[in-house]
Chain A
Amino acid sequence: MSTAGTIIRTAPTESCQPWPRHKLLGEEWRAMAASLGEAGAPSLLALWADTARVYVLLHDADAAGWLVASTSVDDGRYPALSPRRPSATWFERMIHDLWGHEASGGRDLRPWLEHGRWPVTVPMSLRPLARESPAEPPEFLPVEGEDYHQIPVGPVHAGIIEPGHFRFSALGETVARLEIRLGWLHKGTLALMRGKSPRVAARFAARLSGDTTVAHSVAFARAAEAASGTEVPPRAAALRAVMTELERVANHLSDCGAIAGDAAFAYLPARFGWHREALLRAAAVAFGHRLMMDVVVPGGVTADIVPGGTEAILRALAPLEDELPELIRVYDGFSSLLDRTVGTGIVTPALAGEFAAGGFVGRASGRAIDLRRTPGYPPYDRLAFEVPVQQEGDVDARVRIRFAEIGASLNLLRTLLIELPEGGVSVPLLLGSGEGIGWAEGFRGDIWHWLRLDGGQIAAVFMRDPSWLQWPLLEAAIHDNIVADFPLCNKSFNCSYSGVDL
């Protein structure tokens, strides 16, 4: 077992479902942080806080276990994880901006979500302070060396895209460094969820990232159900999976189209867009909303699939199943398209492992991680499906993983719809107090939600979108590529801005 795993497992626990939370003393946390550089150390999945503590979710591959640990914040500080685990950096900056806890020894202490624009500072701390000083321009990493030029892009980009800032340092056409600055979409979502019942707060989970509204709603609902000891009926679990897979296919379709579109190949986005629209219309028929927003709630789903809904979805799937192999052959048949995608924007398996990247970003770089399989959750535990993995880590691999996942999801959808269990679709959420972790495999990858209920209301919550661990890899992927290939790389990642801006 890893050193970090041993330190955490020997610490006393507090109740948290389904995995107990280990309470580490400051010294133990520091030792755990220091051991994260060792070979075989656990993966960091999430780092978050509340007003008094900092929490971490790790995956220990050795012992095939997930570990939850926390430590009390002492005098506004806690030992940083980022010196040994760079993927903790953005989390530490976020924690500092929202709660005011400083990661002592952290690699990067610059503001992240905090742009100097809110009327208060440390908005989620016990005592937010009124802002006194005006906003200052953000500080970017310095560029050393001659002949480099900088290309600042955003927050407003050239298309229908979320806002974010990309700062390229380039030598001629070649990108020497990309620095990403986000936070423009910060809506104070976590603060709005506090003090609300899970049923009411579900509307915020559904709007953390609109393209993942179903999967985030599932992860949130499962966290609330774990914390309150509620078990949802099998039919509700199956309907959630139907919606999750529809969402996955719809997003993969638009991504595959958009990537080809960024290589100026108009035929594929046209066809993929057509199929996406057919799926969205079927979703609207079956569940009353094109994106299936607010249908998944703690305790189950708000309404059963309408009569005829199953047929509507199957009718939309059939032409896609027919045409998909041919569209993949079209992608394969154009050397001018493959020339843009093959070998572009490579993420090595080692780096993907260090950042514990999930979804197509991880799977295109050798990581066979899928929460539907491990740790699993209903109804996927009774279903067989393929989890495609490639080693190349380039734009092309991320496209091909999506192709394969569309196929796998279409099979899953057929099975799910034909074998829908009978019965109710919701149960009342048991009121009470408790702590829980929920997860779901969204189209981008592993989604983790944590919350603590106090008397039926949310006392603290955190929602971790897969993009937290994928955005930094985009910075690495574009290194040594040409500036003009950035849109292609970016599309192949399609990270969520809103999902990490909270």
Chain B
Amino acid sequence: MVWRRVLATLRHGPATLPAARLDDAATRRMADRLEAAAQRTLGRSLAIRQVDAGSCNGCELELHMLNSIVYDLERFGLRFVASPRHADVLLVTGPLTHNMREALLRTWIAMPDPKWLVAVGDCASDGGVFKGSYAIAGGVDAALPVDLLIRGCPPAPAQLLNGLRTLLEANAD
């Protein structure tokens, strides 16, 4: 059954929406630039460890979509890894809850240098709607220096991809 479907897929080409459907030229330029920049700094790949520091899980839903065949994050040399020991980038979502602060810091400390921190979502920026709560320390920068902020509630996968490219470029200079 599945083989018949796989054959059909092969006939029709990949299901990955060519970034073309969004903005072909821009996406291809992004892929080229990203590859060049990643090569210079990290040898073609950037490993990302994600930590939810208080999110409502909306940002996680869109981050998951990056791994789908539609966005296929890995074609850009970007991938999510399970251990902070393997990561170059710590990607943090959510307002920083007091309860998650220590776990976040320990994850960061476990990562080897050089490393970058990306804050994703309006909450990670400054606490978002949860700003001022007794349970919230603030944005992610209340605990760690942020290299890049990708805003949105939640940011769409295309915005997330764009943001990660910016980080590569900035560090390639």
Contacts and interface: CB of A to CB of B under 8 A. Distances in A.
A188 B133 CA distance: 6
Contacts of B56: 207-210, 213, 498
A258 B81 CA distance: 17
A141 interface: no
B57 A211 contact: yes
Contact of A156 (B54, B70, B107): B107
Given A117-B102, A156-B106, 16 more contacts: A117-B101, A118-B134, A128-B134, A162-B52, A163-B51, A163-B103, A184-B99, A187-B136, A188-B133, A188-B134, A191-B134, A192-B133, A210-B56, A210-B57, A211-B58, A293-B153
A119 interface: yes
Interface of A: 113, 115, 117-120, 123, 128, 155-156, 158-163, 183-189, 191-192, 203-204, 207-211, 213, 254, 267, 269-271, 273-274, 276-277, 280, 284, 290-291, 293, 326, 329-330, 333-334, 496-498
Contacts of A120: 134
A189 B63 contact: no
A160 B90 CA distance: 12
Interface residues of B, number: 51
Contacts, number: 153
B50 interface: yes
6 contacts: A160-B80, A161-B60, A185-B52, A188-B135, A189-B130, A290-B62
Contacts of A159: 50, 80, 82
B154 A291 contact: yes
B29 interface: no
A274 B68 contact: yes
B16 to A, nearest CB: 9
A117 B58 contact: no
Nearest to B64: A160
Contacts of B130: 187-189, 192, 207
Interface in B43-93: 50-65, 67-71, 80, 82-83
Interface in B138-161: 153-154, 156
A123 to B, nearest CB: 5
A496 B55 CA distance: 11
A114 to B, nearest CB: 9
A284 B22 CA distance: 14
A113 B69 CA distance: 37
Given A163-B52, A184-B100, A185-B54, A290 B135 contact: no
Contacts of A117: 98-99, 101-102
